[in-house]
Chains A and B, each alone.
Chain A
Amino acid sequence: DADVTQTPRNRITKTGKRIMLECSQTKGHDRMYWYRQDPGLGLRLIYYSFDVKDINKGEISDGYSVSRQAQAKFSLSLESAIPNQTALYFCATSRGFGEKLFFGSGTQLSVL
């Protein structure tokens, strides 16, 4: 089984819908991250969390929210999806500062 699991793998939704992307990990890592990837652009950080009580905005947090339900679970929500949120979304974890990152398989989200 994958150490970092994202669900769903693919999702098509309509403008204005609320959608949640889920991430769970079995690595036992405290640090979890949500990134989005757009064609021709580098990965960009949406939100990150260093423990259950610590949530931080990243570079592009507008239009997104997160929930750290447990050490192992970190969910990303789009409250009212819009077409420019169409992207590939990745969850990642790390053990500590500057440590190696472990990525989920990604969620391809299309907002119509």
Chain B
Amino acid sequence: KNEVEQSPQNLTAQEGEFITINCSYSVGISALHWLQQHPGGGIVSLFMLSSGKKKHGRLIATINIQEKHSSLHITASHPRDSAVYICAVLNYGGSQGNLIFGKGTKLSVKP
């Protein structure tokens, strides 16, 4: 069983829709990262969080430590949000080298 599971694997939405991507993990963690990988391959860090909620523009990330679950929400989605979204967890007590990555959720937003 993978230690970090993302759902859905693939998601197609219409422009303007509210989108939710989920990440569940089975290990104790110190922090959780959300990353965005553009169609050209480049990876950008969106959020790093260890509790609660963070917001940046139209993106909101939440984490529930007790339930071992995080969500990434995109409000008013736009075709430029089309990308692969990756969840990664920092294993509790581990070094940064212990990041465990999910396989990603591929989002396609249609105009």
Contact = CB atoms under 8 A, between A and B. Distances in A.
Category for how many chain B residues contact A: 20 to 34
Interface stretch (A11-19, A37-45, A74-82): A37-45
B50 interface: yes
Main secondary structure of the interface of A (DSSP, over half): strand
B42 A105 contact: yes
Contacts of A40: 103
A42 B104 contact: yes
B59 to A, nearest CB: 14
**Shortest beta-carbon contacts, A-B, top 4:** A42-B101, A103-B43, A48-B97, A98-B31
B4 A42 contact: yes
Interface of B: 4, 30-31, 33, 35, 41-45, 48, 50, 86, 88, 90, 95-97, 99-104
Given A99-B96, A100-B48, 14 more contacts: A31-B96, A33-B96, A42-B86, A42-B104, A43-B101, A48-B95, A48-B96, A92-B43, A96-B96, A98-B96, A101-B33, A101-B45, A103-B45, A106-B43
Nearest to A44: B101
Which of A98, A100, A108: most chain B CB closer than 10 A? A98
A94 interface: yes
B42 A103 contact: yes
